[in-house]
Structure 1
Amino acid sequence: MSVYPKLAAPTAPTEQMRELGADEDDIRKMSVAGAHPGVRQRLWGLEARLDHTVTFEEFTFWAKVEREMEQEEYKRYKAVTGGQGLIGSLRNYFTSNAYEDAKTHSAAVQGQEENTEWSEKKSSTVVDDPTASPIAPVGTHDYDAEWRQAARALRTAGWGTIFYLITTDILGWGQTPYVFSNTGYGIGAGIFALMGLAAGASGWMIWHVFCGLDSSRFPVLSFGDPFFRLYGPKTRHFINFMQAIQMFLSVAVVLLGQTDIIAQLGGSVNLCFIVAGIISLLVSMASGYMRSLKHLGWFCNSAVWLNIISFIIVCAAAAKNGPDPTAQVNGGILNKEWAVPGHMAPVKTFAATPPADYQPTDRNLFAAKFNGINSMVYAYSGAIMFVAFLSEMRHPMDFWKAMLLAQSFITGVYIFFGVFVYTFYGQYAYSIITQVVKPLPLQVVGNVLSLITGWLAIFLYFNVGMKTVYLEVGQQLCNLPPITTKRGKYLWWALGPVYWILAFVVSMSVPQFNAFTNFVGGLFSLNFTYSLSGVMCLAYKIQQGAKLPGEGFDPETGVTTRLDNGYKRWIRGFRKTWYISIPILIYTCCGFASSGMGTWAAVLALESAYGPGGSVLSSWTCTNPFYTG
């Protein structure tokens, strides 16, 4: 029996017959509509970022094209904005929409020499891309294509804006004196500088991978996206799950900190500690009805100025009045008599690691050092947001400027504030530094400012964490409606209180704020800041190095050619890039080792708090540790 199909009887014209007289655009439209088995069009933009059929080679091909286009746009921009002097250049760098400026585009189009060179290059690099969307440009360098403008509509940030975002996101100066109370001057300053360099290295790796994988066709938007493109969808799910857990525990950490502050503010009336926790929960829960961050820009800007005011208050009060020991003594393992008026021990500072009697969290000195390191990592932990920041940039290649300047500024502020305040507070330097301020009126002002900025942080953590859970678990695994729909909005409002109550239960079940913060920092923040950025960059460099002659992505056919797959490919890529892969591997292993030891130290501190002689104050009890009556 013949396997060839018989000729069909004459019928109405088929879609294949219509192709004979159709132009390329019509064929593409028929293909997208599924009317015929022609060349299937690949999606692009937001819908394409998680397409598992796209290969590493295709991602990197379009990323390279995107960087070339951005560079050409930058040249056009410089050609118009040049000659404005130093002040004009700085103003342009810190302008959000400089690359989209209408005058720049108009002048560049109207015959400048730079634009002529660009047009010649464009005409010489036109590639007929059958894998493009039906409204995508035929050439790979079509700057004015409607689809590309839409894909890049939100990418308006300059490196000056990103510098501002990095400093506001990572600037956890309030915990730095507590770090020195664990480690002393020498180790504290040295580790702060080392961690700052390591955070810069992590930022460079994230930036390098982003520039190699991101394009308008396949944008990178979240921390899990690069892992999807390098390791597959299961790894992305794991990363998103871990990020959701971290955000959940961060909400619990800040809830506990807010409860401590409210309890201290109500100490004169002996406010029940559980009541303080419920107040913190209700105020936090009130923000849960908002699903978008877009209306919080003014609040974030205000928070920066509130932080500056708090910074000045703490420095001035520390130098003039010394510490109020209540928070650190009752929130840690220092001698409880030191919190009694008239029995406070003198402030002591140490160049080396403080002895056991002056350790705030753990008398095991090795564990105490790592508790300090965990707090450092918590302060530097904004690197998880770098991918989101990069996705907002019009010219991502400028990210290194913002990162270098921001990390240098942050490290300098951390060391200065930590050393300065530790000098006057010594062993009484608490992780919520405003709770140690004297006199009482300044302490109240500092605590109120901390409450405001703390609730902002709670909402940000909740919003990111809840969205991750809803999108990754609710929509993908449980088929919940999209969050933008009416049903999705109602489900968001219904599930939000459950999220808050669970976080409240966790926070009230932990007896020590310092140890809880260190646990989250050691297990999650350290890995997201250091270890996982190394894992990401290592896979990228190996896959780059594994390429053989004749392999790669062909934009004309949409086909990726590989001569082998599997472990053989990974081993070859590692060998060919050993000079960079080995240092990244060592860096990654050091990150995981530090996470293991830091988590162990935090668990020991929690055991000390729960165990005999521990200060189980922030559990389910009505005792207010700040009662002054």
Structure 2
Amino acid sequence: MDLDNISDSALEVQTAELSSLEIEKVNAWRAIRQATWAGAFYLCTTDILGPFNAPYAFRQNGYVPGTLLYVFMGAVAFYCGGLLWWLYVKLDSDRFPVKSYSDITERTAGTWMRFLVTWLVFIHMIVNVATTSLSAAQSLYQLTHGHICFVVAIVVWIVVGCVLNQIRTLKRYSWLASSAIWINILVILLSVGFIAHSPPNYAAAKAAYKIPTGPVVTQAFATYPFYSRINGVMNIVYAYGGATIFPQIIAEMRRPMDFLKAFSIAQALIFTIYIFYGLYVYSFQGQFTLAVAFQGVSKYSWQTVGNVLHLISAVIAGGLYGNIGLKILYVNVVERFLKGPPLLTTRGRLCWSVLVIAFWWVGFVIGAAIPQVQTLSGMVGAVTNMQFTYSFPAGFTTLYLVQLDATAEDHKYQPGAPPQRIDTWSDWSRWKRGLLGSPKARQPLLQWFKLFNFVLCIAALATAGLGIYGSGLSIAAAFDSSAATSFGCAAPV
């Protein structure tokens, strides 16, 4: 970002006269803003809610750190979601609408950062597809009593995903997505009842962790290796991930200002479910708690109920992740850089079909190479979720405030007169004004707000680095202790 070369056009008022073509585009964009705050609440909940890793996070950290981390990370995730909403409100306009996370990135950090974020979003979605396929494969493996090679079970869901993602529009997924929330809640309620009347799944725990059958042990403070506890923290980060599509949700709201209300209610519900389900399952199963919690019951009939319902929601989730990831790749690579055909044309259909196959099979390679859901989830949390949910919102807010202060002394735009930019004011350069605030109109609270967000961004990046290190060691340790191997027939459950 070059504050000394900020374009003067950025200071022009956007209410200038529009051409007829621009007016048509503005009206078309306004026409798609149909979502209510209730719809936004539903979308946020669908996107974020993933409670089945919560008990595993408590297993890795213990009662006290687990509870405190869920409270702290949830509060920071809520704050950073509010920052994304605030940036959207500040940067969106009829003429230059904000449609995605990448648009916010470009307007605060530049084109090169947009390119990086776009690829991170794509990586995030493709690894989510791999994680979803892994959990679905575990369910299928249990349903067949292990009479299927685990890598074949992954292939089954890759093929299903390839077929499902031939649908190009999200509109057709809406009714499926609405059922996913209720299916997940049903699985939670059923598994709560099953776990209270069933011993842990000792065989699955031995396959996953190589721990012998014995009494259930719970800990206030877990005594696992440091890297294991870090992997548990990254699973908590993964649980709150979802900010990636917040700007897209806001962009389709009739009243974008209502997003904060919808997000607040969604976050409160999600936090309550995580804490209740995590503490409940860990209290009953202790060190035998599995990464996919409902699979920890020992009775096959009860496993079957949870696995069948989970397979349905996993197929829906995989289809949604695949659709979003493929659209990001198609729009930014095929259409923008390769000058390919528009998505909804006949040639676009052919390109889309080829891309679907390539996308899902790359997901297969990732999932089969790292066949432990808990370690892969931790790595995803460190590499992508940590950035989109914590680092980027705080960092982009800081950059936006720096640019506001840098231009604070510029002369206001007047119709018929060119904008006047002031590079120095009483020996204060634009960079100095941007970083320390305008000497003409000091706002101490705003400067503290800027500093707080900068520190939060650095702390989140440092935590992400620690998470990548810890998750890498956890993946190595999982291969030593788990029955599952890369592209092998043995399963981790």
Give the TM-score of the pair, scaled to structure 2.
0.91
What per-residue deviation string (whole Å, max 9, x for no partner) do you get for residues 29-53 of structure 1?
xxxxxxxxxxxxxxxxxxxxxxx98
For 1:502 and 1:208, locate their aligned partners in 2 and report how far apart those are by CA, in whole Å.
Answer: 36
Which structure has more relative contact order (CA 8 Å, sep 6+)? It is: 2
Match of 2:115 among 211, 231, 237: 237
1:287 aligns with 2:146: no
1:619 aligns with 2:486: yes
In the other structure, the counterpart of 1:504 is 364
2:257 counterpart SS class: helix
Match of 2:434 among 573, 576, 582: 573
For 2:168 and 2:64, locate their aligned partners in 1 and report how far apart those are by CA, in whole Å.
Answer: 45
User: Residues 133 and 414 of structure 1: is their aligned pair in 2 closer, same or farther, counting only changes over 3 Å?
Assistant: same
CA contact 1:326–1:436 (8 Å) conserved in 2: no
1:289 counterpart SS class: coil
CA contact 2:133–2:157 (8 Å) conserved in 1: yes
In the other structure, the counterpart of 2:461 is 592
User: Residues 529 and 498 of structure 1: is their aligned pair in 2 closer, same or farther, counting only changes over 3 Å?
Assistant: same
Match of 2:179 among 299, 302, 306: 302
In the other structure, the counterpart of 1:515 is 375
For 2:412 and 2:73, locate their aligned partners in 1 and report how far apart those are by CA, in whole Å.
Answer: 38
Q: Percent identity?
A: 32
**Cα displacement (A) at 1:261:** 1.6
CA contact 1:159–1:399 (8 Å) conserved in 2: yes
User: Residues 54 and 327 of structure 1: is their aligned pair in 2 closer, same or farther, counting only changes over 3 Å?
Assistant: farther
What per-residue deviation string (whole Å, max 9, x for no partner) do you get for residues 221-264 of structure 1?
10010111122222111110111111111111211222222112
For 1:240 and 1:212, locate their aligned partners in 2 and report how far apart those are by CA, in whole Å.
Answer: 21
CA contact 1:508–1:620 (8 Å) conserved in 2: yes
1:604 counterpart SS class: helix
CA contact 1:515–1:602 (8 Å) conserved in 2: yes
| 1:608 partner amino acid | A
2:165 counterpart SS class: helix
Match of 2:128 among 225, 250, 260: 250
For 1:400 and 1:444, locate their aligned partners in 2 and report how far apart those are by CA, in whole Å.
Answer: 39
Match of 2:470 among 591, 601, 604: 601
Match of 1:134 among 20, 31, 35: 20
Match of 2:237 among 356, 364, 377: 377
What per-residue deviation string (whole Å, max 9, x for no partner) do you get for residues 542-593 of structure 1?
1112223343455x4595542239x942431221142211100111011101
In the other structure, the counterpart of 1:159 is 37
In the other structure, the counterpart of 1:228 is 106
User: Residues 559 and 315 of structure 1: is their aligned pair in 2 closer, same or farther, counting only changes over 3 Å?
Assistant: farther
**Cα displacement (A) at 1:619:** 1.8
CA contact 1:184–1:349 (8 Å) conserved in 2: yes
**Cα displacement (A) at 1:418:** 0.8
CA RMSD of aligned residues (A): 2.2
Structure with the higher helix share, 1 or 2: 2
User: Residues 571 and 253 of structure 1: is their aligned pair in 2 closer, same or farther, counting only changes over 3 Å?
Assistant: farther
1:21-60 maps to which residues of 2 (within 5 A)?
55-58=9-12
CA contact 1:273–1:618 (8 Å) conserved in 2: no
1:470 counterpart SS class: helix
What per-residue deviation string (whole Å, max 9, x for no partner) do you get for residues 52-81 of structure 1?
9895445xx54xxxxxxxxxxxxxxxxxxx
For 1:457 and 1:258, locate their aligned partners in 2 and report how far apart those are by CA, in whole Å.
Answer: 11
Q: Which moved more, 1:244-253 or 1:150-159?
A: 150-159
In the other structure, the counterpart of 1:480 is 340
User: Residues 435 and 532 of structure 1: is their aligned pair in 2 closer, same or farther, counting only changes over 3 Å?
Assistant: same
Give the TM-score of the pair, scaled to structure 1.
0.72
**Count of aligned pairs:** 477
1:156-555 maps to which residues of 2 (within 5 A)?
156-267=34-145, 270-331=147-208, 333-335=209-211, 338=212, 344-353=213-222, 355-356=223-224, 364=225, 366-554=226-414
Return 5+ residue gaps in structure 1 as ranges.
1-51, 63-126, 138-145, 339-343, 357-363
User: Residues 210 and 57 of structure 1: is their aligned pair in 2 closer, same or farther, counting only changes over 3 Å?
Assistant: farther
Higher Cα Rg: structure 1 or 2? 1
User: Residues 571 and 172 of structure 1: is their aligned pair in 2 closer, same or farther, counting only changes over 3 Å?
Assistant: farther
1:178 counterpart SS class: helix
| 1:205 partner amino acid | L
